[in-house]
Amino acid sequence: MSTSLERRTALKDNELAWYERMLEIREFERRTNELFAAGEIRGTTHLCVGEEALNLGLATVLNPDDVIAATYRSHGIALAFGISTHSVMAEIMGKSTGCAGGIGGSMHMCDSSVGVLPTSAIIGGGMPVATGAALAFQIQKKKNVAIAYFGDAATNIGAFHESMNLAAIWKLPVIFVINNNVYGEYTRIDLSTPIEDLHIRAESYAMPHTQVDGMDVYAVQKTMQEAIDRARRGDGPTLVEAKTYRFSGHSRADQALYRPEGELEHWSKRDPILVTEQALTKKGLLDDAKIAQLKEAAVATVEAAIVQAKSDPEPTLKDMFSNIYTSAKKVG
């Protein structure tokens, strides 16, 4: 079985591998939803269907020793950054072989070997964490960068403004990435936020900002690389707004009946899987037979992870109290 780092490095400069990983994420989310509906997984979950290009775009431009602090809609981030299909599925199913030992669940993916900091179930909770990581890099004189990845509704909370302000003052190597998927939980953005283009909020902090088509992995890579290069040079933070669309509802119980008629169909024409297929076909890297083969492979990969996770052991009661404290060496 490949390690997280091996899965991560397999993506480097390999456009076909990007498409394969996006297919894996899509199939993973489809089967996860079915498992919840069948009562085989406890709790809830939040699917990232439609956001695969943004997830891969971030993973392919960051180094493994950079870090990302993401949201609870994080299965795609975890898989894109290299955490194994089995490890993510086992975590969701509450098994000890999961990336957080089965005690975190769907909303708490993590793997330090590829820079995935524990994802937060608190809206915008990763922004101060990423800002703190960037401060640590700066103090240690490292060239690493941190990504704060959050949804559109999180731009209305205090942590967004506090993190942006501090990062701007100290020129921290952090990129704030808004996954603007049109909805904050069950509320459309125009009902909760007075502006449509959220990246302009960076003007308040004299911070560079831009907007990108989050359904296009190539556009995401180009935009993010520019922001990352700026951060590594010591020129400070950037706010990037990625326009995406959440094809599924907020959580597993949400049928998204609040969506206007035709909205989903409109965005489906920009399905990131389709957009990537078209680009790779034009480059001669894909044809119909290859597409069918890779889709079958994604189904097999996810199914194998499910079968394995179902037979894995569950955590013990004492595991609830592991990874809470760490010993520190006395200084001086």
- Sign of the alpha-carbon dihedral angle for 122, 221, 275, 15: negative
Whether residue 328 is contained in a domain is answered as: no
pLDDT of 332 higher than 70? no
Q: What is the mean pLDDT of residues 250-267?
A: 82
Instruction: Provide the pLDDT confidence category of residue 328 given band limits of 50, 70 and 90.
Output: low
pLDDT of 330 higher than 70? no
Tell me which residue has tokens 């907020």: 250
DSSP secondary structure letters along 158-222 = HHHHHHHHHHHHHT-SEEEEEEE-SEETTEEGGGT-S-S-GGGGGGGGT--EEEEETT-HHHHHH
How far CA 190 is from CA of 110, 180, 330, in Å, comes to 33, 12, 53
Instruction: Confirm if 75 and 100 have CB atoms less than 8 A apart.
Output: no
**Hey, what are 42's tokens?**
């406890």
Alpha carbons 21 and 265: distance in angstroms, whole number = 24
Domain ranges, residue 127: 4-321
How far CA 1 is from CA of 63, 248, 301, in Å, comes to 22, 31, 12
Whether residue 327 is contained in a domain is answered as: no
pLDDT of residue 206: 97
Whether residue 183 is contained in a domain is answered as: yes
Residue 228 vs residue 104, higher pLDDT: 228
Q: Helix 126-139 crosses helix 158-170 at what angle (to 10 degrees)?
A: 10
pLDDT of residue 162: 97
pLDDT of residue 196: 87
Domain with 159 in it: what CATH number? 3.40.50.970
Whether residue 111 is contained in a domain is answered as: yes
Beta-bridge partners for 187? 184
pLDDT of residue 249: 76
How far CA 167 is from CA of 52, 138, 160, 315, in Å, comes to 28, 11, 11, 39
Q: What is the pLDDT of residues 155-213, one digit of tens each?
A: 999 999 999 999 999 999 999 999 998 887 877 888 888 888 999 999 999 999 999 99
Mean pLDDT of the chain: 92
The H-or-E segment that residue 242 falls in is: strand 238-243
Instruction: Confirm if 117 and 100 have CB atoms less than 8 A apart.
Output: no
How many domains, in total, are found in the chain? 1
Q: What is the mean pLDDT of residues 325-331?
A: 67
Least confident segment among 99-108, 239-248, 252-261: 252-261
pLDDT of residue 165: 98
pLDDT of residue 220: 97
